[in-house]
Amino acid sequence: MCNNKNAEVSKTIKPTVTSVELDDPRKVSLKIDDYLFGVLGMDTEQASNEKRELIKDNFVHLMCLVIKDLQTIEGRLNTYKIQRKALESDKSNGAEYKRRKLEYFAKQNRQAKEDIVEFLNNGVKTYLLEEENSTLECELGDNELGKLFLNGRYSFSQFPEYYDAEYNYATMVKASYFPDVELVDSLNTEKKYMKLRKDDEKQYYTEIKRIIKSKNLVERVQKIVDENYHLHRRHEIFDDLVSLYKEEHYQSFLSLGLIQIEGLFYDICSIKYGEQENAGTLVEKAEKALRGENKVSFMRYYPYFAFDVPIMRNEIAHTGLINATDLERKADELILDLNAVTQMAKMESDGKFRVFHMIYEAITTMNNSTEEELNKKLVCELFCSSTVAPDSFWDLLRTPEEYKDELDFYKKENLPEGYVDLPTVVKTISDMVRELPFWCAMVELMNKISSENDSNIVTQKWKELLLKLAKSYVKILEPDAKEKCIEILATLQSN
């Protein structure tokens, strides 16, 4: 029975394992690494013995990691099922959100299992062939780059904490937006305060109170609201919030501030989708506001705003009060939540403008440049920005007149010499893109790309940008620039 199975396996791997004799199944001598390479479809005839041994060792280590991940997932699913059952008879508002939270994380972990199956079916071969070092040594040593590759096998291995219902999302959200923290320090800051809250909660609240006071955080949040086109209509409300907090009217502060969390998510939805009608409940607004291309960001922030904040928000809605004795602590936490969501809204609102500022600075810092050189630089800057620029950037670049009210909000009078305001930055760049020299630079670039006949990824991205801009502008350009635009369309669409 065993020999017959070996014969069938040998036939399966024959294309990649030529050393195995198949004439007589009873005489088959099949080494385990040959078996492994055959199952994975690896052609290792040219590989050294060292490489073959490395692949085999890394495969064993990989399977151990996968087994541990699956055990963790299965353990969580069982725990969530038991906890969900224990809540069946509890009809309270808090229990309802706990059930929703458990259902969400059960779904996340079931998806993680599917991701692992997909990796086992289609990712193991590439993973093993690309690795040049012992993955076990990477795990046990201090090879951080190696660990990044090791954990990059699928989402669960990269971010296991974001599949855990017990993870402290509340503190992570707050710490990720602490003021004056450099990007390179943000992750360590999150870990520091999450550990502090776990080890010494009293000291944690003392520390966040210090941050709020030393950084004037309440006033900072108000300043963001006042100086942003999409948020400034909330000026009066945030002015009241500042007064309520300073006067230690924490019950009133919480009642008003929790409603503003939902309001800020509404603003983000309006910026992203142009929604002017009801965007749904707080949970629905948070889901729409946080959902986007960055899946990890959603996994970091959504659980807190979907399952924790609504409990207090609904308590206010139903009773008009927060029934708790630690109102000052809750007020301090709410300030940090408002700071986080206000910054999210600002980033969503200002994203298109940040790209304009970067491009403007790159162009205006060129010394003694000709018009041709400036336009070539502009084309290059647009290409470099194309991977990060939101759709709103391209809309504003093409039709700034449709953003007149927003641009007028940022207009500044009596600026110091050498300074320009945002409307001037936008107008300078958008005007350049409509003029003949820019399209001459575009045609020159297109001809260069076409002559090289290169099909690499960068070249394809260049062609995509040229075609995208040509299609977008062909109907609004003046005749001389339109002629060049049509030339680009004719060349690239014929390829």
pLDDT for 135-151, tens place per residue? 888 888 776 776 777 78
Tally Cβ neighbours within 10 Å of residue 118: 11
Instruction: Identify the residue with better confidence: 160 or 14.
Output: 160
**pLDDT tens-place string over residues 36-91:** 888 888 876 767 888 888 888 999 999 999 999 999 999 999 999 999 999 999 98
Q: Nearest 10 degrees: CA dihedral of 488, 491, 494, 495? A: -110
**pLDDT tens-place string over residues 162-217:** 999 999 999 999 999 999 999 889 999 999 999 999 999 999 999 999 999 999 99
Residue 15, pLDDT above cutoff 50: no
Residue 29, pLDDT above cutoff 60: no
The Cα diameter of the chain in Å comes to 93
Q: Are residues 226 and 235 in contact, defined by beta-carbon separation less than 8 angstroms?
A: yes
Residue 453, pLDDT above cutoff 70: no
* pLDDT for res 277: 57
Alpha-carbon distances, residue 262 vs 288, 354, 375 (angstroms):
12, 26, 44
Q: How far is CA 334 from the centre of its chain?
A: 24
Residue 449, pLDDT above cutoff 90: no
* Distance between CA atoms of residues 108 and 162, nearest Å: 9
**pLDDT tens-place string over residues 245-262:** 999 999 999 999 999 999
* Distance between CA atoms of residues 272 and 92, nearest Å: 34
**Domain limits, the chain:** 2-46, 47-167, 168-348, 366-494
Mention every residue, 6+ apart, whose C-beta is less than 8 A from residue 486: 470, 474
pTM of the model: 0.85
* Distance between CA atoms of residues 29 and 33, nearest Å: 12
Whose tokens are 């085999």? That residue is: 56
End-to-end CA distance of the chain: 59
Residue 393, pLDDT above cutoff 70: yes
Q: Are residues 261 and 313 in contact, defined by beta-carbon separation less than 8 angstroms?
A: yes
Residue ranges of E strands in 219-333: none
* Distance between CA atoms of residues 305 and 104, nearest Å: 13
Buried b (16+ CB within 10 A) or exposed e, 189-200: ebeebbebbeee
Residue 454, pLDDT above cutoff 80: no
What mean pLDDT is reported for the chain? 88
**pLDDT tens-place string over residues 273-316:** 886 656 789 999 999 999 986 899 999 999 999 999 999 988 88
* pLDDT for res 30: 58
Question: What average pLDDT does range 356-363 have in this prediction?
Answer: 94
Q: Are residues 360 and 431 in contact, defined by beta-carbon separation less than 8 angstroms?
A: no
Residue of 194, 192, 125, 111 whose CA lies nearest to 153: 125
* Distance between CA atoms of residues 337 and 169, nearest Å: 12
